[in-house]
Structure 1
Amino acid sequence: MTNAGSPSAPEKRTLLVLASTYPRWRGDHEPGFVHELCRRLATRFHVIALVPDAPGADPSGELDGVEVIRYRYAPRGLQTLVNDGGIASNLRRSVWKWLLVPGFVGMQYLSARRLISRRRVDAIHAHWLVSPGIVARLLASPALPYVVTSHGGDLFGFRHPLFAAIKRWVVSRAAAMTVVSAAMAKEVRRLVLPVEHLETIPMGVDMDGRFSMAEGDQRSTSALLFVGRLVAKKGLTHLLDAMPAILAVRPDVTLDIVGFGPERDSLQRQVDRLGLDRNVVFLGALPQEKLPALYRHASMFVAPFVRDPSGDQEGLPVALMEAVATGCPYVVGEVEGLDDLLGDSAGYFRVDPRDSSALTAAVLAGLADPVVAQVAASKAADRARQCMDWSIVVRRYGDLIERSMRLDGAIGASANKT
């Protein structure tokens, strides 16, 4: 209770978050990093997340302190553009889903416009350039600034000149743009995107809680782990190609695969064809709370990331960040964005996954000398703790968003109030 004579707490400013990938319900296996950022920003702003509806999704309402509004963009059973692989993968797999795109973008725009007409919104944070970024750009005004964040696929993929023009148009009015790795910042410059203010801010990891390093953990000596969407850029097919050679030296090795996506059936056929069914297990999608135990048990987290035929590649993959946070040894692909996370230890156990012999040798080396592998993993975990813990990440995003807000006619007037 507040005493009658005491001053009331200042009203939180309102941040409208536009996103495509968002949890459909509590514990959803879809990537939840946007919601994680939203719920942590909710201590500083009133956060409204305007996100697409999906079959089986919860109705609009409050989730962890975030006001979630789900908009319809097609008959509910057909709202399948986003989930189980992501928009880019779904469009490549099912050409007919391009028919969903106008409704997807148009209904987010109309829903956001209606919301803004009825309620005060102080700024917009758009996650991804091509869809939410378009909506933010259409809604922007001198009184309504926006920040746009690219997570990788939207920047590296969608390489047609039309999409390149859209990206330039989206960022041209943004108060700021963020990317999750230095490699992405380099790509922004290569594309000559006309962004006035660019910052590299990753998504975060709960390094003091769920994904902390635990003393006394006993790692397996023969358990490989893969966590991620089953899409081309994750490179899982290259790891499966290397497994027969790995098993020829270490027949006790197993591989647990956690994830879902459009390549699931083809990867299962590859396992069958290579005779790996006794050593490779598809665990499907698992909730976040089950991942730390897997990371802490694994001998090695294998992330054979590649640049796929469309040009898409990882920005800074959250699953690898989580594995590193728990001190899990790793083998990774040669994707530039990983340097931000691995730092000086990036050279350890890093290979071109398309070179099956090199991938095999790296995995076997890590299994043969777990002490060296653990030292590299611990160095990477220390680096991640300095710049990728959620407490650091959410402060940086919060400060940037607050600087973008227009208060009493002055952009950034509140920059020093936090």
Structure 2
Amino acid sequence: MLASTYPRWKDDHEPSFVHELARRLVHWFEVIVVCPHAAGAARREMLDGVQVERYRYAPAAWETLVNNGGITTNLRSSPWKWWLVPSFIAAQWLLARRLLKPRAIVHAHWLLTPGLVASGLGMPFVVTSHGADLFALRGSLAMGLKRRVVRRCRGFTVVSQAMLPPARNLDDSIAPVVAPMGVDLQHVFTPDPRIPREPDRLLFVGRLVEKKGLDVLLEALPDVLAMRPGTRLTVVGFGPLEKDLRAQCARLGLEGVVTFAGAMPSASLAMYYRSAAAFVAPFRPASSGDQEGLGLVLVEALGCGCPVVASDLPAVRDVLTDMPGVFPVKVADSKALVEGVLAALDSSAAKVIEGRQRLVDRFDWEAVAKRYAGILMAASDGGSADV
């Protein structure tokens, strides 16, 4: 398995969905993950039954291409990091090539750069796009490289229905398959009736980057406060826009209303979802074209019985359609967001539980891992990835 974003250690706050899939695939495969090194991380370790191999691509102080916002965000905020990309790709290819075993199947997460590496290994591979790699990086060179990856793969998966049209535009010789990542809805993200919901407590969880839309929520808060003076917002996450967002809070007089709780490991988020009156996900397309690929935080919140207010983007409809206790709102519209938040605060969390089994059937890791195991086995045997 090739990845550019991966937990640096156990209970890291970096996105963990690739590892969560990897550790469940050990039921079917011997799983080796090749991912970038970062300060404080082990070069090699066994993590939940997964052999994790981290490659060095620069001096330790410069290994900053991936973390705290993702590759796309880091390249935009610090253009000098483009100089790291060639060694990042070459080092992953060299380590992956050394670790390859007979009858291996490669699973590359993201078209660029792991997909590009997989396309040069000479082994059958499946590539999964998670959103940013498909929606952003639209220049002629990037598009050409993405088409190269898709033409060479044996299986191409995307994590939401909304990603199918741009995925099909890359190459019509292979049909992309919708196969979302998962959420542990049986053991972690579950309701707990013993925990009371705090009235008027809003929750935001996500990276502090443009496409998450936290600035839209902050802009809406003064109008929410005019109607519900006791409203408070907890922000769980980290990212390059934190300084700007804190400045926005100061400008809007939201000191004491908004709490920046910082980054949290995934397993710690359930207590926030269980105690919030409503979860707000004001996603919007970024200026680069990047946008949300699926929005698993919505599944986490709903899994814990928390009402959800979310932008009505095509990608999130995979989660929100036909789910009780959700309030879709117009994208990047603070006035619409005010109405959605007020409606959610007046709603009953009990309604969310009614649709929970639908989430389990589609997004619980047990079902997701079984689906990916079938996709990988079919690709390894030279068959279709649509299983």
The SS at the match of 2:321 is helix
The 1:195–1:210 alpha-carbon spacing in structure 2 relative to 1, beyond 3 Å, is: farther
Partner of 1:130: 112
**How far apart, in 1, do the equivalents of 2:355 and 2:5 lie?**
28
Matched, 1:94 2:78: yes
| Percent identity over paired residues | 48
Residue 165 of structure 1, CA deviation: 1.3
- Contact persistence 1:22–1:32 (CA under 8 A): yes
Residue 348 of structure 1, CA deviation: 4.7
Residue 347 of structure 1, CA deviation: 10
CA deviations 1:71-98 (Å, max 9, x no partner) are 0100111000000000000001001011
- Contact persistence 1:62–1:68 (CA under 8 A): yes
What aligned pairs does 1:268-417 form with structure 2 within 5 A after superposition? 268-345=246-323, 348-367=326-345, 369-371=346-348, 374-375=350-351, 377-378=352-353, 380-406=355-381, 411-412=382-383
Residue 215 of structure 1, CA deviation: 3.5
In the superposition, the TM-score normalised over structure 2's length comes to 0.96
The SS at the match of 2:371 is helix
**How far apart, in 1, do the equivalents of 2:355 and 2:162 lie?**
18
Partner of 1:8: none
- Contact persistence 2:320–2:326 (CA under 8 A): no
**How far apart, in 1, do the equivalents of 2:67 and 2:358 lie?**
32
What runs of 5+ residues in structure 2 fail to find an aligned partner?
A: none
**How far apart, in 1, do the equivalents of 2:113 and 2:174 lie?**
20
**How far apart, in 1, do the equivalents of 2:94 and 2:340 lie?**
51
What aligned pairs does 1:5-404 form with structure 2 within 5 A after superposition? 17-116=1-100, 119-140=101-122, 144-189=123-168, 191-345=169-323, 348-367=326-345, 369-371=346-348, 374-375=350-351, 377-378=352-353, 380-404=355-379
CA deviations 1:296-350 (Å, max 9, x no partner) are 1000000000011111101112222211111210110121111111122489521
Residue type of the alignment partner of 1:134? L
Residue 163 of structure 1, CA deviation: 1.2
**How far apart, in 1, do the equivalents of 2:340 and 2:301 lie?**
18
**How far apart, in 1, do the equivalents of 2:257 and 2:175 lie?**
49
Count of aligned pairs between the two proteins: 387
CA deviations 1:229-276 (Å, max 9, x no partner) are 000000000000011111111111110000011101100111111110
Structure of greater relative contact order (alpha carbons < 8 Å, 6+ residues apart): 2
- Contact persistence 1:341–1:380 (CA under 8 A): no
Residue 386 of structure 1, CA deviation: 1.5
In the superposition, the TM-score normalised over structure 1's length comes to 0.89
- Contact persistence 2:32–2:52 (CA under 8 A): yes
**How far apart, in 2, do the equivalents of 1:374 and 1:247 lie?**
25
The SS at the match of 1:341 is helix
The SS at the match of 2:31 is strand
The SS at the match of 1:58 is coil
Residue 355 of structure 1, CA deviation: 1.7
CA deviations 1:30-83 (Å, max 9, x no partner) are 000000000000111000000000111123121110000000100111000000
CA deviations 1:136-173 (Å, max 9, x no partner) are 00113xxx210000001101111112211111110101
- Contact persistence 1:19–1:49 (CA under 8 A): yes
- Contact persistence 2:325–2:347 (CA under 8 A): no
CA deviations 1:198-224 (Å, max 9, x no partner) are 211111111111012234442122100
- Contact persistence 1:48–1:69 (CA under 8 A): yes
The SS at the match of 2:181 is coil
- Contact persistence 1:342–1:383 (CA under 8 A): no
The SS at the match of 1:344 is coil
The SS at the match of 2:111 is coil
**How far apart, in 2, do the equivalents of 1:195 and 1:255 lie?**
47
The SS at the match of 2:279 is strand
Task: Say which is worse superposed, 217-226 or 18-27, in terms of deviation.
Answer: 217-226
- Root-mean-square deviation (CA, aligned residues, Å) is 1.9
The SS at the match of 2:157 is strand
Task: Say which is worse superposed, 28-37 or 338-347, in terms of deviation.
Answer: 338-347
The 1:53–1:149 alpha-carbon spacing in structure 2 relative to 1, beyond 3 Å, is: same
What runs of 5+ residues in structure 1 fail to find an aligned partner?
A: 1-16
Residue 284 of structure 1, CA deviation: 0.3
Task: Say which is worse superposed, 345-354 or 159-168, in terms of deviation.
Answer: 345-354
Q: Which runs of 4+ in 1 moved over 6 A?
A: none
CA deviations 1:172-205 (Å, max 9, x no partner) are 011111110000112212x242452421111111
Residue 115 of structure 1, CA deviation: 2.0
